[in-house]
Structure 1
Amino acid sequence: MNAAQTSARTVRLILGDQLNPQHSWFATVDPQVVYLMMEVRQETNYVLHHAQKVISIFAAMRAMATELRADGHRVHYISIGQPESENAMVENIAKIVHSLAATHFEYQEPDEWRLDALLREYAAMAEASGTHASRMVSSEHFFTGRLETRQMFKHGKRWLMETMYRQMRVRHRVLLDSDGEPEGGQWNFDAENRKAWKGDPVEPIDFRPSHDHGVLWKEIQAAGVKTFGLPAANAIRWPVDRVEALQQLDGFIAHALPHFGDYQDAMSREAKRLFHSMLSFALNIKMLSPREVVARVESAWRSGGVPLPAAEGFIRQILGWREYVRGVYWAQMPGYESNNFLEHTADLPEWFWTGKTHMACMSAAITQSLEMAHAHHIQRLMVIGNFALLAGLNPTALHAWYLGIYIDAFEWVELPNTVGMSQFADAGGLATKPYVSSAAYIDRMGDYCSGCRYNKKLKTGADACPFNSLYWEFYERHTPKLGHNARIGMAYQQLKKMDPVTKEGLMEKARELRADLNRL
């Protein structure tokens, strides 16, 4: 699988989330350039990953290597079964550079801080020793530079996604009329995108490909890589190359986007995909460009194919939220992963790894995640994340779980979403309030409560939904840190008006639940 061991001038590293065949690197074929790709235990082991995540990334990497070779490029590929896969990444880089007598090493800017630090250190050492020159280039993927968001909010400005989103819309001329104003007369149609789904319109067919990665899965197992979740190796639905990703984008725009806006927050045990794009994996490993996705969605609206709230809601996720959380990540690293403002320390319940809990909503969301390596944003935020915050789970442990289980989870996007948005562990740096709810919200947006072992209407007693007492005890427990937050003032007003006996019953019930989360 490796390039012939003849000399080369330059070795270029391609990471597993840099699978963009349209990068300018590949515009010309240069026989003096060797592209290095590695399946290494350093990357499979830094957190416990879902089996489908490891399989799908390796399959996509191999497809990229095959495509590059077919185009005439030289590729040195280290697969998971080779002894070199046990080496540290920089050790392999150094050996390949030396064996090819290369004078230059180049790499695209990594999206994760740990890899950025690792490669910067290696490059500095190589430069200092005089073995070869090193250079980092742009990944040519995002709308913004790493530190651009930090510059946007300098001088004490409050960090708000909406502020950045509007600036991005103006800068890139997205969904603007001829006068430079937002189409439809408003910037954000989120208030129109909160409908529950009752079965009509029907969920579209799954327009993603299906792959049999059984041979690759056996290689991964033989190498001793530890994973969790359902491998589903003979029917994995994640694209392996840009052609398939573009077909997936086409299917989404034609069949799901028209209804995405209305039902983007809806949840149902009967429809696990609903009208979501499932494109985040292809985007986050760079098979697709966010620019082309945004342009295609805007074009679909302008041609009359989708409603404006649907187009705007989806574009806001890409042009707004995705760029914003990346800016937060690079502004706050290193150290952001250690934030724990509310001092939560509870271990993750055992059923986070099995889905076997009596809470129907948690069982459905976690089981789906284990089966598909995917759950949409409301399942992640307002079911799993909501419970984790109310129950006081350790945000660092939860971060590792989210990072491992989801196919699209890379630290730059997952960490701010988990530590900041979901767990409020950064003291409100990302979110203006904790995102918590009782059973009422979960029932309003989904069908999980029907047939659940627990009663959504009860607050105390053996049959009471755990979310109800945990919700009020969360606010009471954190009054010193949250009581001054104007956005949740109504909750504290209700607590003050609550009958003392009723209040104590809620507190006692919540404490009982938190004392043994594994029983739920």
Structure 2
Amino acid sequence: MKTLRLILGDQLNHKHSWFNGNQDDVIYFMAEMRQETDYVTHHIQKVVAFFMAMRGFNEWMQDRGWNTVYYNLDDKRNTQDLVKNLKQLIKEHDIEKFEYLAPDEWRLDQQLKDFCKSLDIEWQGYNTEHFLTKRKDVEKFFEGKKRLTMEYFYRDMRKKYDIMIEGDKEPGGGKWNYDQSNRKKWDEKTEIPHERGFRKDVKEITDLLEKEGVKTIGRIDPDNFNWPTTRQDGLDVLNYFCEHLLVHFGDFQDAMHTDQDYLFHSRLSFAMNCKLLAPLEVIQTVLSRFRESGKPKIDISQVEGFVRQILGWREFMRGIYWKEMPDYQTKNKLENKNKLPEFYWTGETKMNCLKHAINNSLDNAYAHHIQRLMITGNFALLNMTEPSYVDEWYLGIYIDAIEWVEITNTRGMSQWADGGIVATKPYVSSGSYINKMSNYCKGCAYKVTKKKAEEDACPFNSLYWNFLDEKNEHFASNQRMNMMMALLKKMDPELLKKHKNRAQDVIDNPAKY
């Protein structure tokens, strides 16, 4: 039976069972489409990385003699629309059966389901064979429970996959979670090896994007592209992480520094999110390095912090996505309505923390989780930004951003727009937290230590108190907010008024700051 198989740009799983059987009557189809480049304005490095990875995957299939159809962005056959392309190929090749891998984005899942309903040939959907849970596993795990607490899910996953478990289902090292050990400010003495680089020439793709008029954000050096876009690249980065970075990963995973773009982070998220690497093989490789007796000796706290992000948080957030979509994309519990300031697209601001976090994002299509949560996300929430604007920026600017992982982290964890489904409290702070975890405040035009809404005081300080006051009704009964709400009530009314006036000026006139 002549079969057409669709592979999307984030489904590049070399180990999929599709590739084990006879390929004689199979055509694999991949396409670079305006449908995907244009539904949100993406970072240019993100578009380049996906095109590079897709082209490399297509070459891998062709090297094995398999029949593939690949549409470059400017291919004359390319209608730039997924359904139109599929209909065209089915007719052209007399296809008798259509097969696809289940998309990880709700919009594509719906598009393909609707398309399949219209077919008069056989069709079948398949699992991508990547994640460690099924779409509805998280929902089933928390059925009947009041709170969706990730920690309990994470512990269950550790037991299920026998990861860092000793004896009768007890955690290795005696603790399930070493988060308290993972909050150190980088001391500037612990050496950070240079990141694993590739230095790829991607000028052909950047020229293509310019010729076709694809609108992008961010910056790129087309002669010096530095992201893993093949499976071998991903394995090289994974091994480099284990050899050079894992030893201090946990210690400094929340740290931020003006001189360091990546610190001890792995830079594996793009390779994983387009499925070049599987989560279990990444975890097992890290655990193998941990068990080695060689030097340097790696403490369990470094490893657990990494495993928790993949085995716990990554699977948990995907489960929340499929539990809550499509309603999740419209949630706005705090009824925020403001726009993001222009400096989110330029990096031009006197606030040093935002300048560095945003420029890192523009330069590298990357920022680590604390920069995203406690700098750019924190300001967006204190600015009381409409969550859709925040979603669009995060989904566009980061190379690893695919909606299943972006929207749950942004609208849920960062913006508290879901009213507490993901996080029990909003992740907001004054400048004090930023100063605690970084050196950003040291070179800033504003003084983090000034707390009385002075002209040169850190804007985060006034924005913080203004936010708590404006959203008071939402947090009055939130136990995790009790301390801060109590301090708000005790604040001198005149000082609170000054904070609110200054905060409103920051919100109304962000270009000044």
TM-score range, shorter-chain basis? over 0.9
Question: What's 2:273 paired with?
Answer: 284
Report the Cα distance in structure 2 between the residues aligned to 1:489 and 1:201, rounded to whole angstroms. Answer: 37
SS at match of 1:134: strand
More divergent stretch after superposition (442-451 vs 80-89) = 80-89
Q: CA deviation digits over 1:211-257, x for unaligned, max 9?
A: 11011211121111111100222111111210111011000010001
Q: Which moved more, 1:173-182 or 1:115-124?
A: 173-182
In structure 2, what is the Cα distance between the partners aligned to 1:83 and 1:479? 57
Deviates more, 1:229-238 or 1:283-292: 229-238
From 140, 153, 166, give the equivalent of 1:151.
140
> Residue in 2 aligned with 1:372?
364
Q: Deviations 1:315-354 (Å, cap 9, x if unpaired)?
A: 0000000000000000011121111111111111111100
1:268-417 counterparts in 2 under 5 A?
Answer: 268-304=257-293, 305-417=297-409
Which residue pairs with 1:228 in the alignment?
217
Aligned amino acid, residue 320 of structure 2: V
Asked if structure 2 preserves the Cα contact closer than 8 Å seen for 1:40 and 1:85, the reply is yes
- 1:76-114 Cα shifts (integer Å, max 9, x gaps): 001001134343101101111111111100011100000
Distance 1:28 1:134, change over 3 A: same
Q: Given residue 404 of structure 1, which amino acid in structure 2 is its aligned partner?
A: G
Cα deviations by residue, 1:185-210 (Å, 9 ceiling, x for unpaired): 11000000100002121211111322
Structure 2 CA distance, aligned partners of 1:312 and 1:375?
21
Partner of 1:10: 3
| Pair 1:141 & 2:130 matched | yes
* 2:251 matched residue in structure 1: 262
Give 1:180's aligned residue: 169
Unaligned runs of 5+ in 1: 1-7
**Letter of the structure 1 residue corresponding to residue 318 of structure 2:** R
Aligned positions, number: 509
Tell me the distance in 2 between the aligned counterparts of 1:197 and 1:316. Answer: 21
Deviation at 1:517, TM superposition (A): 2.0
Percent identity reads 44
Shift of 1:167: 0.5
Match of 2:118, SS?
helix
Contact in 2 for aligned 1:39/1:79 (Cα 8 Å): yes
Amino acid aligned to 1:21: H
Give distance in 2, aligned partners of 1:84 and 1:400: 30
Task: Output the CA distance in 2 between the equivalents of 1:458 and 1:344.
Answer: 27
Which residue matches 1:466? 459
Equivalent pair of 2:79/2:85 in contact (CA under 8 Å): no
- Give the aligned partner of residue 5 of structure 1: none
Q: Which moved more, 1:347-356 or 1:496-505?
A: 496-505
- Partner SS, residue 227 of structure 1: coil
Choose which of 420, 424, 428 in structure 2 pairs with 1:436: 428
Contact 1:112-1:410 at 8 Å conserved across structures: yes
CA drift at 1:67? 0.8
1:301 shift after superposition: 1.7
* Cα 1:48/1:85, change in 2 over 3 Å: farther
- Alpha-carbon distance in structure 1 between the residues aligned to 2:80 and 2:186: 49
Return the offset for 1:158: 1.3
Confirm or deny that 1:19 pairs with 2:12: yes
Q: Which amino acid aligns with 1:409?
A: A
Paired AA for residue 262 in structure 1: D
CA contact (8 A) 2:341 2:510 kept: yes
Could you tell me which amino acid in structure 2 is paired with residue 466 of structure 1?
P
Query: How far is 1:29 from its partner?
Result: 4.4
2:91 matched residue in structure 1: 98
Q: Does 1:446 align with 2:438?
A: yes
TM-score, scaled to structure 1: 0.96
The Cα of 1:502 is off from its aligned counterpart by: 1.8
Is it true that 1:495 corresponds to 2:488 in the alignment? yes
Q: C-alpha root-mean-square deviation of aligned residues, in Å?
A: 1.1
Secondary structure of residue in 2 paired with 1:218: helix
Structure 2, gaps ≥5 residues long: none
Match of 2:80 among 62, 87, 99: 87
> 2:468·2:485 contact (CA, 8 Å) conserved in 1?
yes
Task: Give, in angstroms, the shift of residue 496 of structure 1.
Answer: 1.5
Secondary structure in structure 1 of the residue aligned to 2:69: strand
Deviations 1:358-379 (A, max 9, x none): 1000000000000000000000
Query: What are the Cα deviations for residues 36-58 of structure 1, in whole angstroms up to 9, with x where unaligned?
Result: 00000000000000000001100
Aligned to 1:3: none
Task: Tell me the equivalent position of 1:478.
Answer: 471
- Answer with 106-115 or 457-466: which moved more: 457-466
Superposition deviation, residue 504 in structure 1: 1.8
Please tell me the residue identity of whatever aligns with 1:378.
I
User: Is the partner of 1:85 in helix, strand or coil?
Assistant: coil
**The 10-residue stretch of structure 1 (307-316 or 496-505) with the greater mean CA deviation from structure 2:** 496-505
- Given the alignment of the two structures, is residue 109 of structure 1 paired with residue 102 of structure 2, yes or no? yes
Aligned-partner SS, 1:450: helix
3-state SS of paired residue (1:83): coil
Query: Once structures 1 and 2 are overlaid, which stretch shifts more, 478-487 or 509-518?
Result: 509-518
- Deviates further, 230-239 or 298-307: 298-307
Question: 2:226 matched to 1:237?
Answer: yes
Q: Is the counterpart of residue 511 in structure 1 residue 500 in structure 2?
A: no
Larger mean CA deviation between 90-99 and 301-310 belongs to 301-310
Could you give the per-residue CA deviations for residues 379-407 of structure 1, whole angstroms, max 9, x where no partner exists? 00000000011111111111000000000
Q: For residue 154 of structure 1, report the CA deviation from its aligned partner.
A: 1.0
Take 2:4 and 2:235, find their aligned partners in 1: how far apart are those partners? 29
Q: Distance in 1 between matches of 2:78 and 2:244?
A: 41
Indicate if the aligned counterparts of 1:81 and 1:222 stay in contact, CA closer than 8 A. no
Secondary structure at the aligned position of 2:24 is classed as coil
Residues 29 and 72, structure 1, Cα contact 8 Å, conserved in 2: no
Find the residue that maps to 1:34 and give its secondary structure: strand
Query: Could you say what secondary structure the match of 1:36 adopts?
Result: strand
506-515 vs 315-324, which moves further: 506-515
2:238 to 249, 253, 259: 249
Q: Deviations over 1:146-204 (max 9, x none)?
A: 01111111124410110110000011100001322001111000000100002121211
* Contact 2:197–2:227 (Cα < 8 Å) also in 1: yes
Q: Which amino acid aligns with 1:226?
A: K
TM normalised by structure 2 equals: 0.98
Map of 1:123 onto structure 2: 116
CA contact (8 A) 1:399 1:419 kept: yes
Do residues 199 (structure 1) and 191 (structure 2) align?
A: no
Return the letter of the residue paired with 2:6: L
